Amino acid sequence: MGNAAAPDHGAAPSELAAAIDRFLADAERAGRLSPRTLDAYRRDLRRLLDWARRRDLDRIDDLDLPALRGFAAAEMRAGLDPRTIQRRLSAIRKWFDWLQRDGRVTGNPAADLKAPRTRRKLPVTLDPDQVLKLLELPGDGALDVRDRALMELCYSSGLRVSELADARWSRLDEREGLLRVIGKGDKERIVPVGRHALAALAAWRPHHHDATHGNEDVIFTTLKGKPLSVRAIQQRMAVRAREQGLGQHVHPHQLRHSFASHILESSGDLRAVQELLGHANLSTTQIYTHLDFQHLAEVYDRTHPRARGRG
């Protein structure tokens, strides 16, 4: 009787398959990777191997930068999440690093391979009627007054929740309707505060004084005079949204996004929204906000020199 058939359907493994198997076996022996990571590498490299086999690529030298770009593009066309593709490219880089250390290759063609960017999910925005419903919070108790002021300021000025928690009376110019904000990276900016938010803050101020005995500059505090934490602000907003029957989870980031969207839809001024939000790069604002195509067309017709007076 002959020997039992070898794996891989009786065929000798290709150079690629053998190199991948040796890499995985070496990593397992060395214990450098957790079992979970090792399993992920095995799946990702097998995916590459399957793709290469369908194209009759069976040597390591066949996997140059253009070939690897083709693999990444095929994964994108297959509808894979960019994060999954990033993970697969990371496994390929690790494999080529091992091949380079082993003297099998002189360079890593995957080193300069750009992974697709992860799609950023936009938060669900509230329409103006939903925002109005949220802000028309009933009640005259101290907590009602405070929570109204909290949400009014968040929507009025498009503040981050951290900026809301750090808002100070000493930075508020009630006469001019301006608030000095310390944002990310300790960057300072001045934001406008609308009349409804100013009125809500004025209503909260006596309660704040009673709670803190005038010894706390932070605007939003508990009724015992302690500054509200970011988590507490998030919880209060979620509770108030449920009470107002919005039927969805509402958080400060959502109000900030709604502020930006509503301003942009009304003005079309992306640069102004960038300044109001405190974004360092305009690209962040472009991702963070949205315009429908009809509004874009209206802005174009109104402002572009070659569009004016058409038809």
Residues marked as catalytic: 160, 184, 253, 256, 279, 288
Q: What is the CA radius of gyration of the chain?
A: 29
Is the four-CA dihedral 275, 230, 288, 258 of positive or negative sign?
Answer: negative
Tell me how far CA of residue 17 lies from CA of 59, 70, 73, 91, in angstroms: 9, 19, 22, 15
Q: Which of 31, 28, 104, 26 is nearest to 63 (CA)?
A: 104
Number of Cβ within 10 Å of residue 34's Cβ equals 9
Residue 8 near residue 17 (C-beta atoms within 8 A):
yes
Tell me how far CA of residue 2 lies from CA of 8, 124, 244, in angstroms: 17, 66, 79
Amino acid at 180: R
